[in-house]
Structure 1
Amino acid sequence: MIVLVIALALFFDFTNGFHDTANAMATPIATGAITPRKAVALAAVLNLVGAFLSTEVAKTISGGLIREGADGVHITPEIIFAGLIGAVLWNMFTWLRGLPSSSSHALFGGLIGAAVVGIGLYSVNFGTVFSKVILPAVAAPLIAGASAWLCTRIAYAVTARRDSETGEKLKQGRGGFRVGQVFTSSLVALSHGTNDAQKTMGILTLVLIAGGLQKPGTGPQAWVIVACAAAIAIGTYAGGWRIIRTVGTGLTEVRPAQGFSSESSTAAAIMASSHLGFALSTTQVTSGAVIGSGLGRRGTSVKWGTAGRIALGWVLTLPAAAVVGAAAALLMGLGAPGVILVVVVGIAAIAWMFYLNNRQRVGHHNVVEVEEAGDAVNFPRKRKRRQKGEAR
């Protein structure tokens, strides 16, 4: 059972990677700051590096969310497996719909639902849930949105120019922000690794404690950190193209200055939360920052219909994953037949969603349509080759 949990947890980490790639790379892809393939490759490397920088969030999950050890309440590997089933299935469903929901809240919801059914309501530390999950979920998108709005206004005000004689506004070419976007999106990818990879580390630590293979109150082991870092990096490289399309072009028309502002705000919020041990949803922070940057640029409208769909996904994520996790825990209470049934149904559902995705595939070739994509980061050698081709 412990082996099954470890395998499913690493698969969840993989889905987290391709589900949340959009958090870092949607806006630079949309503005043409970097090509899609280069974007996800860069995000994969930085997610890998970021996973080694902090373990505070992992400790929150392994020792704070579910009571274990000191008060006699012990979560079992079966309950953790059921919670992961709820998280994975919700992640796959929202990815198929192109909905940037929170992988974090899916994980928390699945675990809470499974623990309540498998142990009892008293097994959940609702104080930790409120202070380190729900409160950041409400505050972080608002803070990131306000910060992105302010940064966008400042960026356009600082770079505005007028004719010295007529006083008329001159047409601005703010393409230089594209170069800055490569840096700021890299910060988001790095911060994503410091926060989201820790959640799976916390799950693996929790199952090792539950199985008696690790002492309560200890942090993740070295092999756990390495395995989780690798899984989220591989998932990131796979690319969550459907969600990249939604965040990059579905919320608002993103220009380089807006992308630079939203990514800076996102990275700052996530890194601060990782330092404090808050299990933040990078999806919610990114979406809030993109909306804030859209409101900060005059003449840009926010697609509130899409924003409403995303907000509905946020609200439904935790309870929906909790219901699936609770149902899985109920079945697994039947013993070996229940475990086999949950595994078979889970694999079938995941395979079916992959099949549906392949019928209407979204990839790097059609994720967004931008002009001169990647011009800001072309290498000199490639630029020379292009110039020779044009001369011919």
Structure 2
Amino acid sequence: MKSMKTYTEIPSLLSKAFLGTLSEEEERALQQWRDESPENEQLYESEMNTEYIVQKSHEVARVNIVNGYMNVLLKRKRNVRVRRVRRIVSIAAGVVLPLLAVVLWYGTRERIEDVSEQVASVIRHGGVKAELVLADGTTRILGSEVTDSLLVQQGANIVVQNQGVSYCVDSSVVEERYNTLRVPRGGEYSITLSDGTIVYLNSESELRYPVNFVGRDRRVYLSGEAYFDVVQDEAHPFIVDMGNSSVRVLGTSFDVRAYADEDEVLTTLVQGSVKFSAGKEFVTLEPGKQAVLGKSGSIETREVDTYLYTAWKEGVFAFKRQRLEEIMKVVARWYDVNIFWENVSQKEVTFTGKMKRYDDFSKVVEVLEMTGNTEFVIKENNIFIREK
């Protein structure tokens, strides 16, 4: 059992440390706590970060954290076995920094188990998995549990490993044969094409590609989302075909998002240069720029933080003032859940922050519920979203 000192003194000491009002005795007590474990020291450093405090203070200004936090505690009491907290520090509503210290403290040390243990065991994060369809129609299920193996196809050896597949081809073969890599909801996978280009496929995505590039260009066909790290070859441009639009590159890194159930096709350039085209329109992108193809068929360009559109391949959900409806589309594909909106107004709630893709769904709900007046009701793999 944690001592009462942990629950009552440390949040107050953290707020005083930020304000620079610690007495010598309090400073020694805080230092002793910091020296007890690396986790304590990490927590101290994060809460002394000015940008972090400012961000949290803005959240305080937008929502009633005190009521929200108490509601979460009550919900936790209903849904799971609760570790008792003997005393909650009394906080004056007008004192922002001590309030932040307590909220952040409990948010970090007491991970609020907002979803029942039964639900947490049902809705798990996605994983490394895909289906490989060879040119002759043969299929092979791929995943992180698959042992290393070698598939022999006419003109190519396909190396299958637990994190992805790669192609070693016979350059003398001139016949163009296509394979297809399908990544289901709740999956992600990577592939190294015959030219050395690496493609990271996100959930619910499909890539059709030649076993060996034999023509004037290197053309692949994508639906869904993928990040491309293209090997440079000026004589053979690399083209990503999304049906009603395409991206043409020589050698670069970029993300393409082209889901059938979304209104926009997005191409985000990380480095190099690409030409995005749709019909007779085209734009040439520079690093940090994004091409947006809307339902009207016109192309717009905008400057973006590329991390927000590529963090998924690093195992992170990253959002900045993103609408909840858009966030839940991303989350639903990864956790393979169905979303139902009981209050349409909740679609317009915005969120800024990062979450780990390999956390269980309960962690995602915990973070999203604490940012406003949104409530998630979970029934098996169906998620009902409503106003609190």
The answer, yes or no, to whether TM exceeds 0.5 is no
Higher strand share: 2
Question: Which has the higher Rg, Structure 1 or Structure 2?
Answer: 2
Task: Return the structure number with greater relative CO, CA threshold 8 A, min gap 6.
Answer: 1
Q: Report the TM-score, using the length of structure 1 for normalisation.
A: 0.24
Q: Report the TM-score, using the length of structure 2 for normalisation.
A: 0.24
